[in-house]
């Protein structure tokens, strides 16, 4: 069992025909059992970086390894047995039942021909239960709410029995409860099952509370990396997200409050590093 | 299991009916005797050399069109896709009309020209849709199909306008599709030609399930998306080109049968493809029987019958489903 799940070594990627590279000189590691957050504003290269880690793109310079092997050289089915991904957007066009959708997560294991056995059905049932989606099993996916569909997709990812679980902005359009539930679920899987988690998000406050480490991206480059308390400072957040923030120390973590334009006239450090009375 | 039995029974009933009915007005008992080679030689010839190959060919073509429709709908992720959407009908039509206008002789001139036209359209659309050197963009595939089809239709219009009236009529009738030229030979050629694409498409059932979720989810679930898309497009297109060559352009079956199966039954392609094959075959075989007999001795274009029979049924299905 490899100790390092993903590794980028000076990895860059420029889309064909694009003027600038979407990812430049990224270097970091994701170790087994970690929950790592990749944060950055829109267009900072998060999704491109993820495609590099998952081998959907091959770096135009540098190296990207998944489980010690160049990520783009993995056979898709083999990689899908080890890494499951919940992508940003997925809108099915044709009707499908929830159980069938989750069963598709068995594809990396059964392949195109092998019939599904009771073993596979057990795994699907367990994945549904783990993602709190058992009650949805016989529903049509078209009838699901955003939060339910998200849970179903997480269940499908679990049915892949992966070693690493990657969520790409997967909670972006969920309400408070569903977003928190999704993050809690991933955190619990990492804690209890030894899974490796990668959360890609622009919700740095939330990621700071869940992730062991964060990788901060700006304009395609890694500008900070480390435990949230070290990597996410007001200076980094303001520079990367290009907006003034105030900092609240809260239960041992830093939370960043975006300022109103009117607030910016107040002396900048007024509330910093001080908890509510 | 009950559904498969029902579908199988439907297929057998339709095939049997299609062999029994016909403009010659043979009694069912005579048909049965003819089938096993007894009785009047003319009856034997009609049953064995005309009706049986025609019914089976209609069944195979209908099944192939339905499978192709299901596959293309998943490939371009568009419920409106059908076998002729991707420029094929335009290319095939242009080829056939040219062959008729140029007075090319021989029974095979028109089908061969149609197949060549279809293959040219397939190649052109494919070339248009391969972007950035290696990626088959299914959105461009759809758009390219529509524009190539429109371009071919325009040229076809020009050729038709400049043709004498009797050429025009035979070209139009050919375009509307039919099985008047069916024989054991055409059946054999089509069956030999269709077998490989059908098997390849069926073997791709599970990857098709993934692909209908979207290319990115499919890739991360373990599908080799680019080779898969190429395989699906090429196999589906060649299958349609073969169908066009033996039967002309028969609309509706490929569009509607896959949806009917999805509505009534299954959504995973393991079930969808074979079920669509059987239902599409039964529908086209029945439609051809109606086409032969409704205004006998005149024959209706079978595409007219599929649409007239199928559209109301489908409309009812859709209403029931959305209610």
pLDDT in tens, A185-196: 999 999 988 899
Of B79, B217, B222, the CB nearest to A93: B79
pLDDT band for A270, please (50, 70, 90 cuts): very low
pLDDT averaged over chain B? 86
Domains identified in chain A and CATH numbers: 4-242 (3.40.50.300)
Mean pLDDT of B206-215: 92
Backbone φ and ψ for A165, nearest 5 degrees, come out as -120, 125
The strand pairing partners of A39, in sequence order, are: A201, A216
Identify the pLDDT of residue A277.
Answer: 39
The residue that leads in pLDDT, B77 or A197, is: A197
Separation in Å, CA of B12 to nearest CA in chain A: 28
CB-CB neighbors (< 8 A) of B223 in chain A: 76, 107
More confident residue, B309 or A222: A222
CB contact under 8 A, B219 and A92: no
Q: What is the mean pLDDT of residues B75-90?
A: 81
CATH of domain B2-322: 1.10.3470.10
- State the pairing for strand pair B130-131/B135-136: antiparallel
Distances B211 to B198, B222, B263 between C-alpha atoms, Å:
18, 10, 19
Q: In terms of DSSP bridges, do strands A221-226 and A213-218 run parallel, antiparallel, or are they unpaired?
A: antiparallel
pLDDT digits (tens, 9 = 90+) for B161-191: 888 878 777 777 777 888 888 888 889 988 9
State whether residue A90 sits within 8 Å of chain B by CB. Answer: yes
Three-state DSSP state, B134: coil
For A10-14, A176-180, B84-88, which range has the lowest pLDDT when averaged over its residues?
Answer: B84-88
Classify residue A117 by burial, with Cβ atoms within 10 Å: 0-12, 13-18, 19+: exposed
Query: Where do the structural domains in chain B lie, given as residue ranges?
Result: 2-322
Strands (E), chain A: 4-13, 23-31, 35-39, 61-66, 69-70, 83-86, 164-168, 196-201, 213-218, 221-226, 245-250, 253-258
Rounded to a whole number of angstroms, the distance from the CA of A118 to the nearest CA of chain B is 18
**For residue A265, what pLDDT is reported?**
60
Contact flag B220-A54 (C-beta cutoff 8 Å): yes
Residue B152 and residue B120: Cα distance in Å, rounded?
11
Cα of B7 to nearest chain A Cα, Å: 21
Q: In whole angstroms, what is the distance from residue B110 CA to residue B93 CA?
A: 10
- pLDDT at residue B80, rounded to an integer: 79
The CA distances from residue B40 to B18, B44, B46, B48, B252, in Å, are 20, 6, 10, 12, 39
Note whether A247 and A275 are within 8 A (CB).
Answer: no
| ipTM associated with this complex | 0.89
pLDDT at A61 over 50: yes
From A83, A107, A113, residue closest to B210, measured CB to CB: A107
Rounded CA gap, A166 and A198, in Å? 5
């Amino acid at each position: 069992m490899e100790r390092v799940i993903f590794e980028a070594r000076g990895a860059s990627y420029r889309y064909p025909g694009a003027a600038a590279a979407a990812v430049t000189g990224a270097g970091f590691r994701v170790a087994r059992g970690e929950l790592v957050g990749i944060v950055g504003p829109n267009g900072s290269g998060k999704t491109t970086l993820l495609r590099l880690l998952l081998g959907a793109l091959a770096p135009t310079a540098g190296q990207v390894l998944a489980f010690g092997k160049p990520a783009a050289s993995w056979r898709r089915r083999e990689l899908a047995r080890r890494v499951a991904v919940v992508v940003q957007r997925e809108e099915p066009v044709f009707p499908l039942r929830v159980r069938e959708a989750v069963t598709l997560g068995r594809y990396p294991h059964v392949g195109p021909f092998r019939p599904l056995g009771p073993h596979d059905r057990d795994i699907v049932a367990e994945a549904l239960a783990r993602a709190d989606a058992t009650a949805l099993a016989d529903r049509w996916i078209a009838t699901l709410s955003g939060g339910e569909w998200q849970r179903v997709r997480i269940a499908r990812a679990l049915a892949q029995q992966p070693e690493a679980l990657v969520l790409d902005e997967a909670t972006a359009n969920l309400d408070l409860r569903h977003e928190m539930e999704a993050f809690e679920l991933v955190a619990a899987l990492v804690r209890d099952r030894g899974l490796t988690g990668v959360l890609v998000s622009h919700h740095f406050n939330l990621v700071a509370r869940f992730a062991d480490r964060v990788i901060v991206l700006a304009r395609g480059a890694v500008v900070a990396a480390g435990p949230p308390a070290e990597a996410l400072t007001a200076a980094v957040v303001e520079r990367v997200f290009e907006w003034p923030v105030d900092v609240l120390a809260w239960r041992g973590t830093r939370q960043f409050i975006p300022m109103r334009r009117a607030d910016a006239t107040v002396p900048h450090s007024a509330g910093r590093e001080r908890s509510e009375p | 299991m009950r559904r498969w039995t029902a579908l199988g029974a439907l297929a057998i009933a339709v095939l049997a009916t299609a062999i029994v009915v016909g403009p010659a007005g043979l009694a069912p008992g005579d048909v049965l005797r003819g089938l096993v080679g007894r009785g009047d030689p003319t009856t034997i010839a009609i049953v064995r050399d005309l009706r049986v190959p025609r019914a089976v060919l209609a069944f195979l073509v209908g099944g192939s069109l339905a499978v192709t429709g299901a596959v293309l709908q998943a490939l371009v992720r568009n419920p409106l896709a059908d076998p002729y959407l991707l420029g094929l009908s335009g290319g095939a039509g242009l080829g056939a009309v040219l062959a008729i206008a140029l007075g090319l002789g021989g029974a095979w001139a028109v089908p061969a020209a149609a197949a060549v036209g279809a293959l040219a359209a397939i190649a052109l659309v494919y070339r248009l849709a391969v972007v950035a050197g290696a990626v088959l963009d299914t959105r461009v595939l759809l758009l390219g199909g529509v524009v190539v089809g429109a371009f071919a239709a325009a040229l076809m219009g020009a050729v038709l306008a400049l043709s004498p009236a009797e050429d025009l009529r035979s070209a139009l009738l050919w375009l509307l599709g039919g099985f008047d030229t069916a024989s054991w030979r055409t059946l054999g050629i089509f069956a030999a030609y269709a077998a490989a694409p059908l098997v390849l498409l069926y073997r791709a059932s599970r990857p098709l399930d993934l692909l209908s979720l979207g290319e990115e989810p499919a890739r991360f679930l373990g599908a080799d998306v680019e080779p898969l898309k190429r395989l699906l497009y090429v196999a589906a297109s060649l299958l349609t080109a073969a169908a066009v060559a033996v039967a002309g352009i028969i609309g509706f079956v490929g569009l509607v049968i896959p949806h009917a199966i999805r509505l009534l039954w299954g959504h995973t392609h393991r079930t969808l493809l074979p079920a669509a094959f059987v239902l599409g075959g039964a529908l086209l075989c029945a439609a051809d029987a109606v086409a032969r007999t409704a205004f006998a001795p005149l024959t209706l274009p079978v595409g007219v019958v599929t649409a007239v029979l199928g559209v109301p049924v489908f409309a009812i299905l859709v209403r029931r489903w959305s209610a």
